[in-house]
A = this chain, B = another copy of it.
Amino acid sequence: MAITLRQSDADFEKRFAAFLTTKREISPDVDATVRAIIDDVRSRGDAALIDYSRKFDRADLGTLGIAVSRADIDQAYKDADPATVEALRFARDRIHSHHARQMPRDDRYVDPIGVELGSRWTAVEAVGLYVPGGTASYPSSVLMNAVPAKVAGVERIVIVVPASGGVINPLVLVAADIAGVSEIYRVGGAQAVAALAYGTETIRPVAKIVGPGNAYVAAAKRQVFGTVGIDMIAGPSEVLIVADSDNDPDWLAADLLAQAEHDVSAQSILITNDAAFGKSVEAAVERQIKLLPRAETAAASWRDFGAVIVVDDFDAAIPLIDRIAAEHLELAVDDAEALLGRIRNAGAIFVGKHTPEVIGDYVGGSNHVLPTARSARFSSGLTVLDFVKRSSILKLGPDQLRELAPAAIALAKAEGLDAHARSVAIRLNM
């Protein structure tokens, strides 16, 4: 049973604040182990990758090879269900179209005194994408990470994925191929992150590493940050559904459970203005849980972290929605557009009663890599912007330099930086 919070209760603020700060996941401290693995990969290269893969993945890369070959990919297509391959292509095209609109434009202009200024965007040269093994090996996530990199113009898109028992999910290889990935290596864990950051005989280093992983992968990404760029560290996922009573409780229960089945630390929250409707959704959740193959996971998530919040009205819900700052926000209310306009913090917003969040996981076109654990207060989901970087441009002639010099020299001197002042003054014989 999820908890119920009623805004009209006297202790609501206290309980809501406690609810917000509940830790859903404890990250084990694996820093020292990870540091040793990274050092080992830096000094022994491929040999270290082969040793760790034998130990952690029961995979003999000495025989299989570190690199996945074209023949391996062709075989994966044969092993995959053709309808699923077609669905991946359909998803790729929709993701591509949407992300193509995100490409930032260069800007170059001349200001009123003749100074030329500008922003120029260029693609990151090479990006590594970590793909988890086992049950968390999602081909849809391969598309969501690789397609924006491709749109950005990244030349080398490199995937690392552990081959548990020597095997990689064929749909991961197919998705990588469909997305235009250039190289795939059957390595996982901290050793894969180290290889991407520092390079080995087989794997050339990249400039940025993205993609989700376990505690070892997350710790390795933090440790190599600076040498390479990294994306955000993903936390447990969550959905917030805001719904009036004019909804089918079964639909919303299905949406809450789609989140809960991910992980025992996932979180599903319903905000409604009708306590009785909230009860019907809870009843529907209990009925549907039993039908799920992942019933145990979903039940634990709903029991430990699920919540039904009964608000006085949707006006009063807005500050709560912004404080929760959910990764996924469904607005299943009549005037969803009006509510949308008043909300500040959410990773992705699903508007209206016919937009289940799951569409965004696969084929909506928008990205499913989104800020978790309240970080939508300060960060965004993955976009093309994560694979480009900006150089600012400044160009003066002698006249502009003369015009800007006095203020620059005054500020440099006020900051005690005489060589700064000289660098301007010397050009003007000042």
A410 touches B83 (CB 8 A): yes
B354 touches A138 (CB 8 A): no
Residue of B226, B349, B377 near A373 (CB, 8 A) is B226
Answer whether residue A416 sits at the interface, using C-beta atoms and an 8 A cutoff: yes
In the complex, residue of chain B having the shortest beta-carbon distance to the beta carbon of A222: B222
Residue of B258, B422, B426 near A417 (CB, 8 A) is B258
B376 touches A389 (CB 8 A): yes
Q: Indicate how many identical chains form the complex.
A: 2
Interface window among A4-12, A70-78, A110-118 = A110-118
In the complex, residue of chain B having the shortest beta-carbon distance to the beta carbon of A365: B117
Complex Cα spacing A383 to B390, Å: 9
Point out the residues of chain B lying under 8 angstroms from A291, CB to CB. 422
Interface hits, A356-391 → B, CB 8 Å: 356-367, 370-371, 373, 375-381, 383, 385, 389-391
A410 touches B358 (CB 8 A): no
Q: List 9 A-B contacts (CB under 8 A).
A: A117-B366, A298-B419, A349-B393, A352-B396, A358-B423, A359-B404, A360-B394, A361-B420, A362-B408
Residue of B87, B122, B329 near A410 (CB, 8 A) is B87
Point out the residues of chain B lying under 8 angstroms from A37, CB to CB. none
Answer whether residue A207 sits at the interface, using C-beta atoms and an 8 A cutoff: yes
8 smallest beta-carbon distances between A and B, as pairs: A229-B378, A380-B390, A351-B395, A87-B407, A366-B392, A261-B419, A87-B410, A254-B423
Answer whether residue A275 sits at the interface, using C-beta atoms and an 8 A cutoff: no
B116 touches A351 (CB 8 A): yes
Interface size of A as a range: 35 or more
B349 touches A394 (CB 8 A): yes
Answer whether residue A22 sits at the interface, using C-beta atoms and an 8 A cutoff: no
Distance in angstroms from A379 CB to nearest chain B CB is 6
Complex Cα spacing A108 to B10, Å: 41
Complex Cα spacing A356 to B425, Å: 10
B394 touches A366 (CB 8 A): yes
Complex Cα spacing A340 to B118, Å: 12
B415 touches A139 (CB 8 A): yes
Answer whether residue A88 sits at the interface, using C-beta atoms and an 8 A cutoff: yes
Q: Most B CB atoms within 10 A — which of A228, A394, A401? A: A394
Q: Told that A140-B411, A355-B395 touch, could you supply 10 new A-B pairs with CB distance under 8 A?
A: A83-B410, A86-B410, A122-B344, A124-B377, A251-B426, A261-B420, A354-B400, A358-B421, A358-B424, A378-B389
Point out the residues of chain B lying under 8 angstroms from A415, CB to CB. 138-140
A394 touches B364 (CB 8 A): yes
Contacts A378-B208, A378-B229; is A419 near B254 (CB within 8 Å)? yes
B117 touches A107 (CB 8 A): no
Complex Cα spacing A206 to B115, Å: 36
In the complex, residue of chain B having the shortest beta-carbon distance to the beta carbon of A395: B351
Point out the residues of chain B lying under 8 angstroms from A358, CB to CB. 408, 412, 420-421, 423-424
Answer whether residue A414 sits at the interface, using C-beta atoms and an 8 A cutoff: yes
Interface window among A90-98, A188-196, A310-318 = A90-98
Answer whether residue A346 sits at the interface, using C-beta atoms and an 8 A cutoff: yes
Complex Cα spacing A232 to B427, Å: 33
